[in-house]
Chains A and B, each alone.
Chain A
């Protein structure tokens, strides 16, 4: 019942709004005849979401779109406010977007909290300090051709977000006075997240806003980095929060996750990251004799062992398969071993030697079974050769006797 009422209201409203959109719009018709900056808004408006829902020029700028005469159309008495200054833009958009009652009538599902969040962000704080260079609504959403977030052509569509943020954040001249690096986009493009989002078009992968927030954009706090990464990497996050590293990192003020994995240039982690060898990260803090060193060593050894057993089984099965033994069931079991290998790599984040050892023991046992299956497959190859040898002997014997028979005919 409630749903029907809401839909009915929306239908009626959209009718009303479209009716108003069908009235003549002198803003557009006049500005189309002008040039350059004054012409642009009229040309772009076709793609604009506000224009589509019937909220045309006058809806934001005021004035009277029915009047032919420019002075009458753009008269302050009709509410004309002209072009807002850069620092006024958040207020300008907030005129509607921060009013829950108004937003409910036009888009029930669009939250009206963007402005509130914006003021807490770095960008909002800079705008309040009269810094015109800081990003405001238009910097990211564009103006006059604003598209919905799920429109692939929108500047704020997931795949386009990195490019939008980079407009400022990758420009070292523009960002010089703020003292923050501008290589984030380069790093991100070369990361697994960047490759997934930008090359494989996987919108499940994070863009800038997924970690930094949209309107409340801030670099995540060093000790709450976890909350950002854990949105997706929940398994690792859960383990880390319960691990001895959490209090340790907090006390040192070291960045969770980022310390080992980097922030923008997150690469596919290799087993070299963990352990006690030179390339491993563990030895940055741990040295021979402390508990952490021993844990790192045993975790690495367990993984290396499982990895080598996995590889050995895989080689065996591949060899048997290439020699004609059908091993699809065994290869399925091998997939299970691979899953356990993934699990053990996740378990590293618990930094708990006992947990890792327990997981490793069961995994290695399973790997042993797969290995045995692989050996059986190779044995099958051998048994076929024995059969062949026996068959050949019998055949050659018979052929030999027949040849003797031929000779005995003496012809």
Chain B
């Protein structure tokens, strides 16, 4: 180990890097546990990249071959069932951890000055993660995915003016076909990863350069700071090991189903639903009446969600009291209402659906 370090030191100026790494620390306080969720999200993303690369060695995109290649993969390829189920489960866990990471930072008002850009790049990463989930879901080209994508891409169609062009762009045509599958495959393995990596690099860079923030209440009262290397890093690794074990357990005991191949001519089976992280939007759109004033109900719903998303993205600039270190009860209210809305709508989506 030392030999390798010396070899590198003789060739590259890494003193500053080492010094930085030794200095990097984590404030210790009562909300310490939430710090793990950023790393967990990153870990699950790593799992996605690795299992994704393995999957694309056997996956054959195209309406004639996608389903069969996945079927071949999970039956004939050794441990294919494992790689595929891990990929599907880890996607869900990644988005779940992203939700937790988002809301924990929201409640702790981590977005306040100087970390506005960290927050905004984080929101972009979250939206991209949802895009990954949506595009990846279609790739096995099975019944559920086909109809979920049909319903999902129907929704932007109600936006006036840009709605139809957006729909055409997403679908690669007026209907969900093999062209949609090709497009989603391209988005999923190339376009989204590249954009994601840019925002991820920025997000991580900002965190390194600015250091890990503490909640507003704890500022000035931090008694202890834990060195990142090795103390926090080892704790991170332990949580990652547990997370990996959980995802493998899920793959073994609750394997991801494949179901039947998509048949565009068959009628939709009962109970078509998007993935759980879209259910709250899906269900609330269902509740809206067909017409509100002279607008289509669905259109207002989409506008509503778009606005909510936009508000969350620029939140650091809307909520300024935290910059001055003042209390802002609005944060708790907005946060709790959002979480309650999401949970209730998701539950309703499953109970009523």
- A residues with a Cβ closer than 8 A to B are 323-326, 328-329, 384-385, 387-388, 391-392, 395-396, 398-399, 402-403, 405-406, 409, 411
Contact = CB atoms under 8 A, between A and B. Distances in A.
B191 interface: no
B226 A411 contact: yes
Contact of A402 (B74, B226, B234, B249): B234
B245 interface: yes
B22 to A, nearest CB: 14
Contact of A392 (B85, B226, B245): B245
A392 B71 CA distance: 27
Interface in B248-294: 248-249, 252-258
B241 A395 contact: yes
A392 B245 CA distance: 6
A44 B254 CA distance: 68
B37 interface: no
A275 to B, nearest CB: 38
Contacts of B257: 324
A392 B238 contact: no
Nearest to A411: B231
A399 B248 contact: no
Given A324-B257, A328-B71, A405-B234, A388 B249 contact: yes
Nearest to B72: A326
Contacts of B74: 324, 326
22 contacts: A324-B74, A324-B81, A326-B74, A326-B75, A328-B71, A329-B75, A384-B252, A387-B82, A387-B252, A388-B252, A388-B253, A391-B245, A392-B245, A392-B248, A398-B241, A399-B238, A402-B241, A403-B238, A406-B231, A406-B234, A411-B226, A411-B227
Interface in B39-79: 71, 74-75
Interface string B211-232: 0000000000000001100110
A329 to B, nearest CB: 8
A241 B267 CA distance: 46
A61 B36 CA distance: 99
B235 A406 contact: yes
B244 interface: yes
Contact of A324 (B226, B242, B255): B255
B237 interface: yes
B28 to A, nearest CB: 10
Nearest to A384: B252
Interface in B59-116: 71, 74-75, 81-82, 85
B273 to A, nearest CB: 19
Contacts of A385: 252-253
B226 to A, nearest CB: 7
Given A324-B74, A395-B241, A395-B245, 8 more contacts: A324-B85, A324-B256, A388-B249, A395-B242, A396-B245, A403-B238, A406-B234, A409-B230
DSSP class of B's interface residues: helix, strand, loop or mixed?
Answer: helix
Contacts of A396: 245
B155 to A, nearest CB: 31
Nearest to B85: A324
A385 B249 CA distance: 9
A335 to B, nearest CB: 16
Contacts of A329: 75
B79 to A, nearest CB: 8
B81 A384 contact: yes
Nearest to B258: A326
Interface string B132-156: 0000000000000000000000000
Contacts of A387: 82, 252
B242 A399 contact: yes
A409 B230 CA distance: 9
B92 to A, nearest CB: 16
Contacts of B226: 411
Given A324-B257, A328-B71, A384-B81, A392 B249 contact: yes
A406 B226 CA distance: 12
Residue among B226, B227, B252, B253 with most chain A CB within 10 A = B252
Contacts of A391: 245, 248
A404 B257 CA distance: 39
A87 B231 CA distance: 110
A393 B43 CA distance: 21
A398 B71 CA distance: 34
Contacts of A326: 71, 74-75, 81, 258
A325 B255 CA distance: 9
Contacts of B249: 388, 392
A184 B254 CA distance: 55
A83 B227 CA distance: 113
Contact of B255 (A323, A392, A398, A411): A323
Complex A-B, nearest 3 residue pairs according to Cβ-Cβ distance, in ascending order: A324-B255, A326-B75, A388-B252
Contacts of A399: 238, 241-242
Interface in B5-62: none
A398 B238 CA distance: 8
Nearest to B240: A399
Nearest to A400: B238
A405 B238 CA distance: 11
Contacts of B254: 324
Nearest to A377: B75
B230 A395 contact: no
Contacts of B252: 384-385, 387-388
A402 B255 contact: no
Nearest to A399: B241
A103 B45 CA distance: 82
A325 B71 CA distance: 10
B311 to A, nearest CB: 40
Interface string B295-307: 0000000000000
A399 B235 CA distance: 9
